[in-house]
Structure 1
Amino acid sequence: MNAMRTLSKLAVPLLLLPFAGCLSGGLGGGGGFGAASAGVTALDGGLIGQNEATRAWPSQARSRALEAEFQALQFGLPGQPVAWAADGFSGEVVPTQLYRVGSQDCRGYSHTFKGTAQPTKTVGTACKTAEGYWKPVA
């Protein structure tokens, strides 16, 4: 019986462990912390950086959009949008199911941008590097 109590006390923290990163910075968490900040940097501009229309956006809007891409890739459920908004601009990032290519975890994702022009949807794929960061692939 004591073993069951000990196991149940350990089970809850262990079940919450995969979500710990969600609680540390979150979207718009003041620039991000540690691994989340490095993860955003590793995206190398992400889909937002590949879109001609977003290049003139304010840096705050571009940062929020890139943070949303990281959150969707790292923590998002397949098909569930991660929304963001800043400075009158907004969008949502929708990840696909994870899959493996060789020894790498990859997933597709789309990013719909809304700003001064018509909404634009960009689609891409990212894979995790050996260091565990998401990197867009061509």
Structure 2
Amino acid sequence: MSEKELSKKMAYEMFQRGYKTSDIAKAISKSKSTVYKYIQEEYDLHRYPEIRTEIKVVLFQGDFEKYILNLSFRDISLIRRKLSLGGTSKQEKIHAILKYFKSNSILGVYPEYLSKAIIKSANRRKAEETHQSYEDLLRLHA
């Protein structure tokens, strides 16, 4: 384990135990901004898989908006960072997350690993379900 990884784990464990960031910075001989960055990286590493699992369950249940509104600011910021969304205030971040998931949940795909090919196939599949004469339309426009 490298010194950086060891410092990250130590900073995160100390933070969970309630130590101040200034004390953590002294203990691992890093600046406070580096300590904040380490804590955020470790938090993201542990919390994001849990959030992804929860989101998948909530998307199927249909309580997604309520779920997002009940998340902590830290979790909302984590989702925003991972999905490369905008927003500075809590409301802007929530709006960006809801808009992002709404536009992609219609297609029935989980929006984290989207590529142009996945979106194109999902659009085609949705169009076939929606329009029975989709094949005829394709032949007309081809």
Indicate the TM-score class for this superposition, using the shorter chain for normalisation. Answer: under 0.3
State the TM-score, normalizing by the size of structure 2.
0.27
User: Which structure would you say has the larger Rg?
Assistant: 2
Which one has the bigger helix percentage? 2
Which one has the bigger strand percentage? 1
Q: Between the two structures, name the one with larger relative contact order (CA 8 Å, sep ≥ 6).
A: 1
